[in-house]
A and B are shown apart, each in its own frame.
Chain A
């Protein structure tokens, strides 16, 4: 069953004397009960606007929001049954940390013992037991962020909205908390949406990731799907570290298939079995395409593509080799060390089956084969 359903959401900010800003366009999204969803994108992509429309601090310019079968986009925030952790923490300054966390529970008139039990439990989870009696002003940003997270998670709500929930935390603590929060959400079957610009966080915490750019939902899928079958050029280049290598290629017909040539340095034969009918039709109609290949799929030391090494970094568990091939930059990632210095010429192997092919409008014509 869909817990949250966004249908045709538009958000336009209008201010006098300035052109209107279209922050979110025709957003359709359905989140299942108990699912954890990440809104991923660079700043200004509309992810926080989306979150605030669900919470009710921003009106929707068009479209509808339903939560648990209730149409909520016209309800005041108080009646939406939504909990939220804010990016700016927004703790109540005159209350202690404990009172801050317990606040909504007290408003809901839970018995005192129950409130104390739940506050202690969530405080242990985010490691703030020792500052429960401090005031928000007296604790660090990272601690405030954890308090804000605890204040949201302690509530009983249909949906939990977390805006950059771990942006201020140290990397080690972030990794620990991610695991704990994920298991808490899963254990209680809580539905959550969180906003982040950190891919690692999105992949670690979320069941599905919604990639947004320019107010438009680019793709809403699992991390594996986003990596293996990116819907368009933006998702392909945005997801993955280091980013996918992208090259312009000319398309010519060859016997039984197509030949994609990148300048005079590389050429790939794509044909027959690897192409379905629609992809073939799209390729036939496109003189120029963009081809992409993940750095992890480039084999170093074999193959026919001659690359002049620009940099060779050993990251402790993998090598990143950046090379120049006829003015185009290619990055390859290999698990072992490679003995190559800048200036050396090294062969790279790019196999046609690993190529993603994108049309002129950025949509994907063919995905790489899953290996």
Chain B
């Protein structure tokens, strides 16, 4: 009724609505301007600032930034063996954490989505989310106590301890996307596979895995990028090892060398871009 009234005698609001209705592009640009501004200014802007800073240097004594172009930071980064070792170690940790989380999360998510009753499903989701309510530091220190040589696990500290702790910390971020993906998978497909004679493994390989793969990719992006940037867990349970995050932190926090820290920080960004490009080739991103 209101629309017909607006059509018969358009007020200013009606005229605006009619204008927007006719000019789809204006409508679209108005709708998108806020998120695009956020993306452009806050997100890409910050990344760009980081990248530009990487080409500056600092006055080593007063700590002031020297805003003149130099390749020196990247030169140090590429020529120093230690940075390559640390980058590869961080990459290894991120891959290991992602694989462990995948192996633990997939059966869990499958059971939640397909085997549990709707009532149990809700409780399981809450249980998976519960650890996220506790502080990151509390959980990391809890693992420190458990891993201590007189603790419950008693493994001692080091890279293994770091991988175990990170796998625990990021597990919910893997379970939830896979759970959501599997929930959308019609159970009738599983029944159909069974009717056609496929056993468990074959059903998994030809039906469940291909359809849930985009969800797995989504989860792996979380666990992979979170592990790649972490520096606190490794400080708490890592013994004497260090990751990319520690190099960034040490250069900003202790040495006040923001440009070099920025140069180091581009390494995980590049690794993530390569990872996303590889994922894109599999076509998983289109089905997210």
Task: Decide if A and B are genuine partners.
Answer: no
